[in-house]
Amino acid sequence: MWRNSISVLACATCLMACTTDKDRLLPAGDASMREVWDTQTGGSAGSLAGRRLLDTRLILRRPMLSETHDGDTTFERLPNPDLVMYVFPHMAGGAPIPGYRTVFPMFGRVEYAMPGEALK
């Protein structure tokens, strides 16, 4: 009983959360995209609300790579050498399997050094 009620409530909540009013969000008419943007974001960049929005975006925006690091990372990857294993010819389920080589990493996952511990 409760399980069905919870399922129905969860489905109804999802459907209500996913619905939007297209006409309210993007009204039809001769408004340009800039005018729609200004209306939805609280005004143009010259207004106080628009200026606050722009200032907040500039604070949150940061470059992907800093010019001082030139792509260096704080946590360097530790070496993980490849191991080569030779599998001798054998029989599997009555079928002959020829010998072959396979390559796999020494460690099962990538390990990282602490800052300053990287091997150079």
Q: Confirm whether 68 is domain-assigned.
A: no
Residue 105's H or E segment, with its range, is: strand 100-105
Q: For residue 17, what are the domain limits?
A: 2-60
Domain count, the chain: 1
pLDDT value of position 118: 61
Q: Confirm whether 40 is domain-assigned.
A: yes
pLDDT value of position 85: 94
DSSP state of 96: E
Segments in the chain forming alpha helices (H): 2-18, 22-25, 33-41, 48-60
- Residue of higher predicted confidence among 58 and 42: 58
What is the residue-averaged pLDDT of the chain? Answer: 76
| Band of residue 42 on the pLDDT scale cut at 50, 70, 90 | low
Q: Confirm whether 110 is domain-assigned.
A: no
Q: Extract the tokens encoding 62.
A: 């940061």
Is the alpha carbon torsion for 53, 54, 59, 64 positive or negative?
positive
Give the whole-angstrom CA distance, residue 51 versus residue 58: 11
pLDDT tens for each residue of 15-40: 665 666 777 766 778 888 778 777 77
